[in-house]
């Protein structure tokens, strides 16, 4: 069974939570893209009326092309439901996000929602977060000074840090929708995600980190045996 089939199964389960009249947050990434496609199909089929806030320019363009009505958090500051993917998730539904360089907007949108639900395939589930590099969105000004501050904070939290500036395949530097840069922290394992997240919250020059702690209500995890639901205790 292909990964796309698994992702579609997870997205389809999350779609059952959507009701007419909702204010939705739409995620970014390959699994979220599948969800947006399915959402548009259901809206046309059933005549659902809703508005959505996209977490990236890519998702905005996709939603506009599919005819999904969009709003902003300035116009609609409170959302009913946000649905997004994850790069890693553990048994407590702590997440690493940001592989698509959109975790700042994702976190803003998902913190604005009454419910945040994750959709993912089984390869994203881990016992300990950290194998996937932790994305750190930083402002371009003073990049090296910010890098050194991040190194000190990460090491003080008990980790050995290697920070790489994210680049595209052609060697050009990745820039976020907000014009910022991404430093990927290769940590290997994060023993205490909440502690590290709290420490990173105080680093000047860091706009946002990719640790999403205590935010997700549940995850729909697509496995080869079916879709498994993980609920936060």
- Asked if 106 is an active-site residue, the reply is yes
CB contact at 8 A, 227 and 121: no
Q: DSSP secondary structure string, 139-180? A: -STTHHHHHHHHHHHHHHTT---EEEE-B-TTSPBPB-TTS-
Question: How many angstroms from the chain centroid is the CA of residue 203?
Answer: 21
Cβ neighbours around 214 below 10 Å, total:
12
Selecting among 13, 106, 137, 208, the annotated active-site residue is 106
Distances, alpha carbon 148 to alpha carbons 183, 204, 209, 218, in Å? 12, 11, 16, 36
H/E stretch holding 81 reads: strand 79-84
Q: Please enumerate in sequence order all residues whose Cβ is within 8 A of that of 144, keeping only pairs 6 or more positions apart, or say none.
A: none
Measuring CA to CA, how many Å separate 57 from each of 71, 105, 112?
Answer: 13, 10, 18
Give catalytic residues, as residue numbers.
Answer: 106
């Amino acid at each position: 069974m292909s990964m796309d089939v698994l992702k579609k199964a997870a997205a389809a389960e999350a779609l059952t939570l959507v009701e007419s009249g909702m204010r939705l947050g739409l995620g970014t990434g390959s699994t979220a893209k599948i969800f947006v496609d399915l959402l548009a199909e259901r809206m046309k089929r059933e005549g659902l009326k809703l508005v959505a806030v996209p977490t990236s320019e890519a998702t905005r363009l996709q939603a506009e092309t599919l005819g999904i009505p969009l709003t902003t958090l300035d116009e609609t500051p409170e959302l009913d439901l946000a649905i997004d993917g994850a790069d890693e998730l553990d048994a407590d539904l702590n997440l690493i996000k940001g592989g698509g360089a959109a975790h700042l907007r994702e976190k803003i949108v998902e913190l604005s929602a009454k419910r945040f639900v994750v959709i993912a395939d089984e390869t994203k589930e881990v016992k300990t977060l950290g194998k996937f590099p932790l994305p750190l969105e930083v402002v371009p000004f003073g990049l090296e000074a910010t890098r050194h501050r991040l190194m000190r904070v990460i090491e003080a939290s008990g980790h050995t840090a290697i920070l790489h500036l994210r680049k595209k395949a052609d060697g050009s530097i990745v820039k976020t929708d907000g014009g910022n840069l991404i430093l990927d922290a290769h940590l290997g394992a994060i023993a205490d995600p909440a502690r590290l997240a709290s420490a990173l919250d105080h680093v000047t020059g860091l706009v946002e980190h990719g640790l999403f702690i205590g935010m997700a209500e549940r995850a729909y995890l697509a496995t080869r045996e079916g879709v498994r639901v993980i609920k936060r205790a």
